[in-house]
Amino acid sequence: MPEAHEVFRFQEAAKALDIELHVLKPSEFDLVVDSLGGWSAIYQGRELRKPDLIIPRTGSETSYFTLAVLRHFERQGVAIVNPPAAIEAVADKLHTLQVLAGAGLPIPKTILGKFPVDVGLVEREIGFPVVVKKLRGTRGAGVMLCENRAQFDDLANLLDGAAQGQDFLFQQYIKASHGRDVRVLVVDGKAVAAMERRSTDGGFKSNISLGGAAMPFAPPPAMAELAVKVARELQLDVAGIDILFDKTAYRICEANSSPGFQGLERACDVDVPELVFVAMSRKFGLPLRHSARWERAIDRAAKAVLGPMPRPVNDDAPAMARAPTRRKRKPA
């Protein structure tokens, strides 16, 4: 179960902060909608108390039913991190790119595939090598690199014959970032941690879930600012932004509304769930033990980590803040 580790870590952090946390399955809800108002939530046949905060961990696999459940809570005034509209938008890779392109942010040139595949269009607009992606996918699944036209012709024939119901993206290959990228974690408008991921087998995919290696990374101000802008445009309170290295700048690979963080915590020695709890308690005015202490620590890190650089003219420009160090558990 891909999310098992992240769910466990949220449970662990909640216990340390005296937070009452319940892990619920969207499929176990019954939705009753009427015009009488008042609180309504039925889970496994029982009335559910109104929560202070919901943190969905469904990401690109979010189904229509899950979105309906989240919207039901949202319309009844429950704070949700991230909001359902943002989760739905980010689950669609092309929609994500359309939003970012509309905001003038750098993305790889992309074509939505249709059948039969127009190989000539792909060659003219993007060229080879070309990256082929499923419209919805996660952890590097459904992504491949076609080195030349011959390979692409073979793939196009396969897609035309067997995948009429699937949607694919054809995307510009960024050679300078072959086998490496940076995952930046953005929480409540701040870049709080980052890791560089590298392929260990010479392939172009660097996902840790596929065997890639991770190491802590201090993103330059321009990269941290780009990650924060992406999260802001996509209206994500918590986001994992994957950024590619280009020859002289950066390009956005994709955004994740429910980012995995096992590799990030290991590489950077940070406590991601605790940071999310603290930041969201501050954002939504929720009580939390030790929140004042962590707020001061986060603010100090945001001011100090970039060193003695001149203050940007734009007060909204983000600093790279470091998340709280993950606390070591006492031995049993």
Handedness of CA 182, 183, 187, 193 (dihedral sign): negative
The alpha helices in 238-271, defined as continuous H runs, are: 262-268
Overall residue count recorded for the chain in this entry: 332
**Segment holding 10, helix H or strand E:** helix 4-16
> pLDDT tens digits, residue range 282-297?
999 887 765 555 566 5
Q: What is the pLDDT of residue 154?
A: 85
Give the per-residue pLDDT at 251. 96
Nearest to 166 by CA among 230, 115, 237: 115
> Per-residue b/e over 116-139, b at no fewer than 16 CB within 10 Å?
ebebeebeeebeebbbbbbbbbbb
* Whether residue 97 has pLDDT greater than 50: yes
pLDDT of residue 308: 46
Average of per-residue pLDDT across 149-155: 87
What's the pLDDT band for 315 if we cut at 50, 70, 90? Answer: very low
Tell me the per-residue pLDDT of 46-85, one tens digit each, with 9 for 90 and over. 999 999 999 999 866 789 999 999 999 999 999 999 999 9
The yes-or-no verdict on residue 163 having pLDDT over 80 is no
In tens, the pLDDT along 113-149 reads 877 888 899 999 999 999 998 876 655 567 889 999 9
What confidence category does residue 24 fall into, taking pLDDT thresholds of 50, 70 and 90?
Answer: very high
d(CA 12, CA 261): 14
Percent of the chain with pLDDT over 90: 58
Check residue 60 and give its pLDDT.
66
What pLDDT shows up at residue 298? Answer: 59
- The answer on pLDDT for 323 being more than 50 is yes
Q: Is the pLDDT of residue 253 over 60?
A: yes
